[in-house]
Structure formats: structure tokens, C-alpha cells
Amino acid sequence: MNPKNGYDERTVINITTTTSTLIVYLSLLTILLFVDFYYFKILDLINQNSISVILNMFIIGIINYVYFIKDKKFLEKGFKTDKKGGYVIILFIVLNSMCLLYFANKNREKIFAEREKARIEKNR
């Protein structure tokens, strides 16, 4: 148990793995939505249900743990604990979330427009 913050090493590793996995997953989802909206329909090829989301996050978490967290490679990058770094991370998460919501709404509008067009053509 670390007397400084009250968490043991296993808890810190679990929190680090979970948080970084969530950030990586949301970043990948934002990139997929961007590609799907502007270039080609990639999300039609991907089955998006709760089981696949959990499975994908689990796979990303295992890769994240094995390659970055298990050997504590992320600690060797020379990160400093300061308020500026915390603000940068929070800003990245907020911007990433805003982009994700923007692209999700644009894709939803696009899908509704396509369905409306198909409904109108069907009624003719």
C-alpha cells in the first residue's frame, strides 16, 4: 500500500489500464466515425453491439496492458506530474468526446436523410 495516496500497486495498474483503454477506444471510434462520414462506409462492415464493444475494449485493454503497462514502459517516457499535463489530458479527452459526438450526430443525420429518401421513393 502506497502511503502517499492509499492505493496499492495492483489498483493503480487496473485504473491506469482501464482509463487508457477507454481513451484509446474512444479515439479509435472517433477516427472510424470520421472515415465513415467523409470517405467510405466502414461502419457497415463492423457489427456494433454491446458484446462486440466489450470484446473490442477487452482486446485493446490486453494489448495496452501487455505492451505499455505491464513493463511500466509508460513511466519511462519522462512524464512529469504537474497541473499543465493534467489539463492537457483533460482537454484531449473533452475534445475527443466532442469530435465523437459531432461525427455521431452527422452520421445519424445522414442515415435519417437516406432513410427518408428511400421512404419517399418507395411511396411513389
3 state DSSP class of 49: coil
Each residue's pLDDT expressed in tens, for the chain with a length of 124 residues: 555 666 677 787 777 788 888 888 888 888 887 777 777 777 666 777 778 778 888 888 888 888 777 776 666 666 666 677 777 778 888 888 888 888 888 878 888 888 888 888 888 7
Q: Rounded CA gap, 2 and 20, in Å?
A: 21
The pLDDT of residue 76: 63
CA distances in angstroms from 80 to 70, 97, 99, listed in the order given = 20, 25, 27
List, in sequence order, the alpha helices (H) in 1-124.
9-38, 50-64, 83-123
Q: Rounded CA gap, 94 and 67, in Å?
A: 26
The pLDDT of residue 80: 62
Spans of all domains in the chain: 9-123
The pLDDT of residue 75: 61
The pLDDT of residue 121: 84
